[in-house]
Structure 1
């Protein structure tokens, strides 16, 4: 059994819905899995450049972590970027990363957002064990199932 934290930022609930399905699958495999949200002070619609995170999730108690975030303006959502930058250490943690996005092509921000998350996490000592992307078009359930299958064998 692994204690896994799914830390997710979600404005439309798409990214959060992936986290819930992932939690269920990982729990069925015998893991202890908690979902924690990254929320901005004043609500989850960024109104200014001065974004502050409300009650940032503490990652120290988890052996494995999954970070999920939407893509915003072809890049990582600002709230997730700020949250990840505030984490003091991910030393020796197994970390998986996923993003959700609306535009169908990977170069429309998804690859960049994953790269940004990887770079921040690795700079804090994380061992990146998987990445994936869910495009919110076409057969979304098939995309989510593929991510869940991929991540369920990592931990």
Structure 2
């Protein structure tokens, strides 16, 4: 199966998770590629538009994993805007994850995942899994758990 891991990452934390996930998918025989959503300049939280340097084409993949950080208690604006611009996810299995620095439930992780899931479903994708990584002392265990969980989805 050809899997695309599409990630937006400012501090490289989210990107690091995507690379580990790529290794696991490749290990079990999938054709997998990590692609980055890149903006031309800063995009403030809750921005209504953005100029992109790189917008990965999802059509070439059978399944997708979207990863992004939580910004200002919500999904990072560049990922939200990118997902909204995707034409269709019809017939594709989708998994989503976010990374965040604050451990409390009310700090945006669930809201960010909910937003990603809703956008993907409105584009026709079948969301088969989600996860939240809190960037703290237990992050390595959380990443291992995400990789184990997501490797069973595709």
| 2:6 corresponds to 1:7 | yes
2:62 corresponds in structure 1 to 63
Shift of 1:55: 2.6
Shift of 1:81: 0.4
Answer yes or no: is the 8 Å Cα contact 2:73–2:107 preserved in 1: yes
Shift of 1:47: 5.5
1:104 corresponds in structure 2 to 103
2:74 corresponds in structure 1 to 75
| 2:43 corresponds to 1:46 | yes
- SS class of match (2:131): strand
| 2:134 corresponds to 1:135 | yes
Higher helix share: 2
Unaligned runs of 5+ in 1: none
TM-score by length of 2: 0.95
Which whole-Å CA distance do the structure 2 matches of 1:93 and 1:105 have between them? 32
TM-score by length of 1: 0.95
Which whole-Å CA distance do the structure 2 matches of 1:86 and 1:144 have between them? 28
Which whole-Å CA distance do the structure 2 matches of 1:40 and 1:30 have between them? 32
2:122 corresponds in structure 1 to 123
Unaligned runs of 5+ in 2: none
RMSD: 1.2
Which whole-Å CA distance do the structure 2 matches of 1:4 and 1:142 have between them? 23
Answer yes or no: is the 8 Å Cα contact 2:133–2:142 preserved in 1: yes
